[in-house]
Amino acid sequence: MAQTTTQADPAATKTAIITGASSGLGYECARALLRTDRSWHVVLAVRDAERGLAVADSLEGEGRCSVMCADLSSLESIRNFVAQQRSAGLPPTRALVCNAGVQVVSGASRSADGFELTFAVNHLGHFALVCGLLDQLARPARIVIVSSDTHDPERRSGMPAPRYISAEELAKAPSGPDEEATSGRRRYTTSKLCNLLFAYELDRRLGQGRSGITVNAFNPGLMPGSGLARDYPPLQRFAWRFVLPLLRFLPQVGSARASGIRLAALVHDPRFERVSGRYFDGLREVRSSKDSYDREKASDLWQTSERLAGVDGRLIR
């Protein structure tokens, strides 16, 4: 049985941290990375240690995985994770994959710190995690942030377009019932826009790869069957789990396994070594939405996130 922190396999020379590695895309990315070669040690950053340990076992990664708790809806949990990672004595950290995500459609919820939950988990928690881990990243290292094409209204994904007025507004948890039936999905697409605004701003602050750290964003494409629809009404959940996966012969319907292999390639493949500040649809570099390149929104998001997360992002220059 894997331990919450384990001694790394002596063949391991680099560590990758993957958030949300207990299921779906994060799990498949861990699996693919461990299959590349024995040089990778993977930290499964999960919110439930017991499930994480079961996942580590199923990855057959004896000595090749560590399980550490990071609940992205709690800034305290993220601080604890950063401290645990610092003292774990693992090989140098060369990759951080910000993958965990939620879609909350049954009404607005709050994070442990009182922020709107989708914004807190999908963006703010990852912002705090990256800022906390930055001085522990070896050089070179790669940060990959998982976004979604649902952030881009021009992609016609069937999801409501993001609505970004200010990060302050996004962080506020509505006190009453949702004003529109689509509010939860809109919060999700807006959080995926935040992923891109954050990725591009972080890349600029890290000197567009010159610091030795690259930052890219990733769209895994549609992966029905994953846990993302767990808050959907029962019929939609059933369709997501059992019906949509039958449509994998369509080019726009993929699987977590195939996308996980592509995500892992962004982490290990030498061809992406110096690539930074880009958005990948699978492994194809594409433009993201017009709004995602908006420097004013990126700066507003950065400054507000610094204040809300209580981290000093000015250190990142």
| Number of residues located near ligand NAP, criterion CB under 6 A | 28
What does the per-residue mask of binding to ligand NAP show for 50-69, with x meaning CB under 6 A?
--------------------
Query: One-letter amino acid identity for 183?
Result: S
Applying CB under 6 A, among 6, 15, 93, 99 the residue interacting with ligand NAP is 99
DSSP state of 176: S
- Which residue has the closest beta carbon to ligand NAP? 24
Closest CA to 78 of 19, 143, 29, 137: 19
Q: Which residues contact 156 (CB under 8 A, 6 or more apart)?
A: none
Of 22-30, 79-87, 296-304, 309-317, the window that binds ligand NAP (rule: CB under 6 A) is: 22-30
Least CB distance to ligand NAP at residue 13 (A): 26
Q: Does 227 bind ligand NAP (CB under 6 A)?
A: yes
Check binding of 32 to ligand NAP (CB under 6 A): no
Q: From residue 201, how far is each of 196, 282, 296, 301 by CA, in Å? A: 8, 21, 10, 9
24 binds ligand NAP (CB under 6 A): yes
118 within 8 A of 183, measured Cβ to Cβ: no
Beta strand spans in 148-240 (E): 213-219
Residue 121 touches ligand NAP, criterion: CB under 6 A? yes
Check residue 170 for interaction with ligand NAP (CB under 6 A). no
Residues with catalytic function: 188
Interacting residue with ligand NAP among 30, 88, 95, 100 (CB under 6 A):
100
CA dist 286 → 17, 254, 279 (Å): 25, 18, 6
Q: Is 282 in a helix, a strand, or coil?
A: coil
Q: Which of 72, 128, 265, 309 binds ligand NAP (CB under 6 A)?
A: 72
CB of 63 to ligand NAP, least distance (A): 22
CA distances from 227 to 17, 175, 247, 248 (A): 20, 27, 18, 17
